[in-house]
Structure 1
């Protein structure tokens, strides 16, 4: 469920982006609603609300959520400040590659790979499986970042659709594949499946 909370601001971003730009006046201030820049403002505002609510509820944000929020504020803020969507196009690749770097760094820093730190409380697996799983997440984030970058600068008319639904689709497919992989290896750590000794 936590993985999909990140998509709430993206979905709101997508909805506003798809609206035909129209002038709107609130409290005597006029602005254009619809299109990339008001969608970016919606992305920033909804991210602050979503992650702010999570912070109030749990008293903290996970590092990944904090990274996502900071990236949204930085790249979204630059997009609005310079009136250039190029900055926003770099957000998804940079965030994905930073996640890949964090997962890769955990092979060399600390006593457990990052995926084991995240999921180890719920699953008991051999270290070799944790290592493979961590490598899979590194690969996923590298591919996801590269795909977002390629689409953003090659297929300009479809990059927002891909940013929302392409990323969501890749995440769902990867999580399903991870579930299938884990189901094949859970018995490796399940004492009830081991043969009794004579």
Structure 2
């Protein structure tokens, strides 16, 4: 359930973009009616409407996520705050300049923030964040924990670079598809491979 909650903005981004692609005139009208005062020049091309509408909805969805957690007095993960900051800044720039370059950088910035947090905590604070998150499920030798942390750093660094490659070598529609299916698919494959390699360390249920 938490997995779907975390992916809510990404899924909504995909759905709204696809709707905008299939209903360009309606999407352009909706963007013009609701966001003209937020955009440079106040008007956009029909082809720009789907990504602008999807971006605006994603900002709102991320705010709603945090609002929901706060209303229920639940902890808001630090990375969710970081995600809100990134999507608000880059999303607002995308809407104002009606330029999808900014929003296409969002996954990369977030991935690289994850990588920097994991690497910085290990090298500077001497704290292994992967161990903090996973030590209740498995017991690993200290060198394995250190390697596992670095493997996650490498994964996020590569994912950030791959996002940029797809974003600026393929169409926006292709990038939107990759953002949902490619990103989630690669994450799933990575986690399954990691689980298989570490299966002997996973604690058995008492």
The answer to whether the superposition gives a TM-score over 0.5 is yes
Aligned to 1:10: 10
Secondary structure of the residue that 2:26 maps to in structure 1? strand
| TM-score normalised per structure 1 | 0.83
Rounded to whole Å, the distance in 2 between the matches of 1:8 and 1:169 is 16
2:115 paired with 1:108 = no
* 1:31 CA displacement: 4.7
Q: How does 1:1-198 map to 2 (within 5 A)?
A: 2-19=2-19, 20-23=23-26, 30-31=33-34, 35-156=50-171, 157-186=173-202
* 1:43 CA displacement: 0.7
Rounded to whole Å, the distance in 2 between the matches of 1:101 and 1:180 is 26
| TM-score normalised per structure 2 | 0.80
Contact in 2 for aligned 1:7/1:168 (Cα 8 Å): no
Contact in 1 for aligned 2:17/2:50 (Cα 8 Å): yes
Task: Give the count of matched residue pairs.
Answer: 186
Can you list the C-alpha shifts for 1:62-111, whole angstroms capped at 9, x where unaligned? Answer: 11211112111111111111111100011111110111111111222334
Secondary structure of the residue that 2:122 maps to in structure 1? coil
Secondary structure of the residue that 1:90 maps to in structure 2? helix
* 1:44 CA displacement: 0.8
Bigger strand share: 1
With over 3 angstroms needed to count, the CA separation of the structure-2 counterparts of 1:2 and 1:105, relative to structure 1, is: farther
Rounded to whole Å, the distance in 1 between the matches of 2:183 and 2:97 is 26
Aligned-CA RMSD value: 2.4
Rounded to whole Å, the distance in 2 between the matches of 1:79 and 1:152 is 14
Higher relative contact order (CA 8 A, sep 6+): 2
Secondary structure of the residue that 1:30 maps to in structure 2? helix
Contact in 2 for aligned 1:23/1:31 (Cα 8 Å): no
* 1:173 CA displacement: 0.9
Bigger radius of gyration: 1
* 1:8 CA displacement: 1.1
Rounded to whole Å, the distance in 2 between the matches of 1:161 and 1:119 is 30
Contact in 1 for aligned 2:138/2:201 (Cα 8 Å): no
